[in-house]
């Protein structure tokens, strides 16, 4: 009786014995997770009206050039270190010698996404969003505005994190793991950059032909990857190194520092540097607050020009505006050394509306001279200690002479 009842129960539920067995096997870990996949940049694919066939073609070219999340590959032209990529790629595990692999998925993917699109499962909850690496655009670096960051710059970001954002510090990871992760970030960037180039390129296709079926596509891919690789290789030649003779001496007296701060204040509020336009006359970051960073601006423009596109459906996060920094808090995402702030003002912040302020050459008519940028560095660094920035109990009461 019992038996009949229970088989009736399973039949009602539509579960056969074998199916139940498969479920149990799955639960006990005998089943394999499906392999991780790179996701195409669907916003670009659909907004550029790539047909389904062309999307498959681009995906195939990308796989040929860069492999998969479990089996990365690097063409010689990319100048990437495959050994490092393999340590960072793949599922979280240890190899026979106990070396950890799958570092990117362990530490980064839940924010930055398997494809480096900045849209991992945690991303929607963060402001600012994690970086989308696929454009090769980075903010906090030592190089000229549009240049790629150096490997050292990426290392700094990993070691220090990005203060004031969700990007944590990975200071405790051993050096070889940091190296592997840096290589992997560059790899994801290059892959994303190639994808964008393939979308933008116009190919001579016959009816029904896909780009991966073109005989010349291997050659074109090599050329584009070589160009992208070259940009990354050049980064270290484009580091902003201010002239040591023009830098303020380290043994300045308080009076000398006060003179420089006053000159910086003048520039900050003046028309030439125009910092107040965005940071506000208060320096609280309450000037221009309705602008976007490059990633969100692209989405905002698409939402205006193609209102029928469902951007969320294509994997995009909701569009967000960017706020200029509140300079009274003393939190610097790109580093707090005077040199870091110098570089931020010199080149601006790539990918954000903050413009570069330096003269293109020492005798250029427009832009700020190195001494003026140092004045601004002094002023910016004085702002958190300005009496208006302090909590009321720390305000310095003006001295009153007794009558």
Task: By CB under 6 A, name the binding residues for ligand HEC.
Answer: 107-108, 111-112, 122, 126, 128, 130-131, 138-141, 154, 157-158, 162, 165-168, 170, 181, 185, 268, 273-275, 277-279, 288, 293, 322, 324-325, 327, 332-334, 341, 344-345, 349, 352-355, 357, 376, 380
Nearer to ligand HEC, 67 or 351 (CB): 351
Instruction: Yes or no: say if 102 and 91 are a contact pair by the CB < 8 Å rule.
Output: yes
Three-state SS for 207? Answer: coil
Looking at beta carbons only, is 60 or 321 nearer to ligand HEC? 321
Nearest-approach distance from CB 217 to ligand HEC, in angstroms: 30
Which residues lie closer than 8 Å to 389 by C-beta, 6 or more apart?
328, 329, 383
Q: How far is the CB of 332 from ligand HEC (least distance, A)?
A: 4
Query: How many Å apart are CA 104 and CA 90, to the nearest integer?
Result: 8
Q: Which is nearer to ligand HEC, 222 or 359 (CB)?
A: 359
Contacts of 149 (CB under 8 A, 6+ apart): 138, 140, 141, 142, 143, 157, 235
Least CB distance to ligand HEC at residue 346 (A): 10
Smaller CB separation from ligand HEC, 154 or 228: 154
Percent of the chain that is helix, strand, coil (3-state, to 5): 50, 0, 50
Minimum distance between the CB of residue 319 and ligand HEC, rounded to whole angstroms?
15
Largest CA distance in the chain: 106
The two structure tokens encoding residue 382: 């004085």
* Between 123 and 302, CB nearer to ligand HEC: 123
Nearest partner of 139 among 385, 376, 340, judged by Cα? 340
∠ at Cα 29 (93, 17), nearest 5°? 165
* Shortest distance, position 30 Cβ to ligand HEC, whole Å: 30
Torsion angle of C-alpha atoms 151, 132, 85, 73, degrees rounded to 10: -120
Is the Cβ–Cβ distance between 151 and 123 less than 8 Å?
no
State the nearest-atom distance from the C-beta of 276 to ligand HEC, in Å: 8
**Closest separation between CB of residue 323 and ligand HEC, Å?**
7
**58 versus 240: smaller Cβ distance to ligand HEC:** 240
Residue 326 C-beta: closest distance to ligand HEC, Å: 9
* Nearest to 181, CA basis, from 89, 74, 63, 98: 89
Comparing CB distances to ligand HEC, the nearer of 21 and 318 is 318
In the complex with ligand HEC, the residue whose CB is nearer, 46 or 275, is 275
- Nearest Cα neighbor of 154 from 129, 120, 184, 109 is 184
Cis upstream peptide for 275 (omega within 30°): no
What stretches of 70-204 adopt beta strand conformation (E)?
93-94, 100-101
310, two tokens: 């469902």
Q: Between 66 and 187, name the residue whose CB sits nearer to ligand HEC.
A: 187
CA-based Rg of the chain, rounded to a whole angstrom? 27
d(CA 327, CA 258): 18
Task: Tell the smallest beta-carbon distance from residue 63 to ligand HEC (Å).
Answer: 23
């Amino acid at each position: 009786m019992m038996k009949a009842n229970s088989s009736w129960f399973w039949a009602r539920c539509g579960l056969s014995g074998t199916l139940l067995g498969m479920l149990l096997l799955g639960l006990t870990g005998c089943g394999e997770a499906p392999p991780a996949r790179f996701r195409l940049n669907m916003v670009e694919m659909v907004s550029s009206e790539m047909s389904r066939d062309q999307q498959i073609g681009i995906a195939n070219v990308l796989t040929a050039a860069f492999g998969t999340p479990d089996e990365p590959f690097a063409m010689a032209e990319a100048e990437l270190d495959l050994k490092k990529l393999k340590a960072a790629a793949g599922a979280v595990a240890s190899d026979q010698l106990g070396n950890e692999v799958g570092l990117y998925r362990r530490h980064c993917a839940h924010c930055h996404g398997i494809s480096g699109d900045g849209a991992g499962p945690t991303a929607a909850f963060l402001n600012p969003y994690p970086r989308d690496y696929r454009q090769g655009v980075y903010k906090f670096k030592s190089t000229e505005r549009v240049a790629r960051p150096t490997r050292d710059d990426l290392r700094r970001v990993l070691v220090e994190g990005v203060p004031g954002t969700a990007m944590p510090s990975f200071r405790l990871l051993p050096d070889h793991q940091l190296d592997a992760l840096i290589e992997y970030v560059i790899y994801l960037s290059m892959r994303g950059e190639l994808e964008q180039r393939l979308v933008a390129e116009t190919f001579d296709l016959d009816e029904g032909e896909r780009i991966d079926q073109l005989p010349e596509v291997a050659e074109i891919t090599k050329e584009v990857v070589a160009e992208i690789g070259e940009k990354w290789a050049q980064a270290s030649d484009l580091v902003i190194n201010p002239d040591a003779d023009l830098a303020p001496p380290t043994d300045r007296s308080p009076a000398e520092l006060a003179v420089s701060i006053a000159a910086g204040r003048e520039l900050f509020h003046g028309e030439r540097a125009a910092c107040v336009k965005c940071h506000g006359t208060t320096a609280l970051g309450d000037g221009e607050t309705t602008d976007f960073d490059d990633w969100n601006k692209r989405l905002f423009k698409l939402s205006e020009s193609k209102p029928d596109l469902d951007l969320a459906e294509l994997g995009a996060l909701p569009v967000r505006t960017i706020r200029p920094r509140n300079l009274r808090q003393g939190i610097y995402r790109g580093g707090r050394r005077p040199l870091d702030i110098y570089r931020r003002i010199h080149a601006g912040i790539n990918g954000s509306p903050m413009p570069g302020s330096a003269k293109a050459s020492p005798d250029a008519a427009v832009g700020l001279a190195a001494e003026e940028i140092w004045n601004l560095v002094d002023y910016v660094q004085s702002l958190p200690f300005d009496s208006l920035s302090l909590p009321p109990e720390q305000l310095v009461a003006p001295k009153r002479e007794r009558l």
